[in-house]
C-alpha cells in the first residue's frame, strides 16, 4: 500500500496532541501497544529516490505487494516492466511469503536484487512462529514422522498464538535462519520521501490510522487493517476504507 500526504497526518497529529492534553481519548495518542524486536519505521536511502520531470536520468521505484511465494510470477512481472537492477529499486510491500509454492525463492530473489521489504501480516506470523520455536528449543530441522502426531495440537496452539500451526513451522524450516533474519530487518513502515506531485510518500502493507503520527501507529494494525470504525482501525471488511477515512476529499494517491 502506497500513499502520499503525510504532511496532512502530521498536522492532524498536532491537533490530536492538544486534545490528549485536555484528557480526551483518541486512538493512537493516549496509548500505543509496546512491540519489541521490530523495526517500526525505516527511511528509504536517498540514492534510491527517482528523479522527476521530463529530463530525469535516474531509475524507478518498482513497488509490488502480496507476492505470496509466487517467485515465477514475480520474475515475469519484473521482466514485463523491464526491471534493471543497476538503476531501479524494488520494494516488496509485505506478504512476500506464504500460500505460494516458493517462499524461499522469493526471499532469495529479493536479497539478490537488493530489494527493500515491508513487514506484512504473513511475515509477522512466520517471524513470531520462528521466535517461539527458538524460545521453546523446537528443532529447525525438516519435520520428521513424529511431527504428524502434533497437527491437532498445533491447531489449538495457533489460536493462542503460541507455536503456530504445522504449516507455519514447516515454512519456518523451509525459509531457514538466514532468510528469516532478512525478513526481521524489514520495517512495518517505509518512509520513502518526497516524490514529485505525490508529496511525502510512505509504503505499508495494509494501512495507517488517520490523524496518528507514524511513530505512534499500532504496527499490528498497520500490517492488518482493512477499515476504520469510529476512528479505530479494524481487520473487518465492514466499515470505511482506511484511505477514505484518512484523507476524505484530499485527492491523495492510493495504489495497492
The arithmetic mean of pLDDT across residues 93-102, rounded, is: 97
Query: For 2-119+186-255, which CATH class?
Result: alpha beta
The arithmetic mean of pLDDT across residues 137-146, rounded, is: 66
Q: What percentage of the chain carries pLDDT values higher than 90?
A: 53
User: Model confidence at 183, in pLDDT bands (50, 70, 90)?
Assistant: very high
Q: Which of 18-22, 27-31, 167-171, 233-237 has the highest mean pLDDT?
A: 167-171
Q: What is the pLDDT of residues 194-237, one digit of tens each?
A: 988 888 999 999 998 888 899 999 999 999 998 887 778 878 87
Q: What is the pLDDT of residue 187?
A: 98
Please, what is the average pLDDT of the chain? 80
Between the alpha carbon of residue 221 and those of residues 2, 79, 114, 226, the distances in Å are 16, 33, 27, 9
46 pLDDT above the threshold of 70:
yes
- Bigger pLDDT: 189 or 155? 189
Q: Where in the chain is the domain with CATH 3.60.21.10?
A: 2-119+186-255
Amino acid at each position: 500500500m502506497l500513499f502520499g500526504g503525510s504532511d496532512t497526518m502530521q498536522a492532524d497529529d498536532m491537533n490530536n496532541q492538544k486534545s490528549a492534553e485536555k484528557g480526551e481519548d483518541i486512538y493512537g495518542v493516549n496509548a500505543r501497544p509496546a512491540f519489541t524486536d521490530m523495526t517500526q519505521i525505516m527511511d528509504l536511502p536517498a540514492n534510491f529516490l527517482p528523479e522527476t520531470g521530463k529530463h530525469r536520468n535516474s531509475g524507478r521505484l518498482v513497488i509490488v505487494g502480496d507476492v505470496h511465494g509466487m517467485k515465477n510470477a514475480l520474475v515475469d512481472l519484473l521482466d514485463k516492466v523491464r526491471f534493471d537492477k543497476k538503476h531501479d529499486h524494488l520494494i516488496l510491500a509485505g506478504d512476500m511469503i506464504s500460500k505460494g509454492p516458493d517462499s524461499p525463492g522469493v526471499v532469495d530473489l529479493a536479497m539478490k536484487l537488493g530489494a527493500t521489504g515491508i513487514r506484512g501480516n504473513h511475515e509477522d506470523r512466520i517471524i513470531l512462529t520462528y521466535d517461539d520455536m527458538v524460545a521453546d528449543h523446537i528443532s529447525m530441522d525438516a519435520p520428521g514422522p513424529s511431527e504428524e502426531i502434533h497437527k491437532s495440537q498445533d491447531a489449538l496452539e495457533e489460536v493462542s498464538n503460541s507455536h503456530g500451526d504445522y504449516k507455519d513451522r514447516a515454512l519456518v524450516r523451509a525459509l531457514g535462519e538466514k532468510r528469516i533474519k532478512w525478513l526481521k530487518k524489514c520495517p512495518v513502515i517505509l518512509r520513502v520521501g518526497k516524490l514529485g506531485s505525490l508529496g511525502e510518500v510512505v509504503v505499508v502493507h495494509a494501512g495507517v490510522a488517520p490523524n496518528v503520527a507514524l511513530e505512534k501507529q499500532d504496527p499490528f494494525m498497520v500490517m492488518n487493517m482493512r477499515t476504520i470504525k469510529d476512528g479505530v482501525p479494524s481487520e473487518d471488511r465492514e466499515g470505511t476504507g482506511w484511505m477514505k477515512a484518512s484523507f476524505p476529499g484530499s485527492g491523495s494517491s492510493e495504489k495497492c
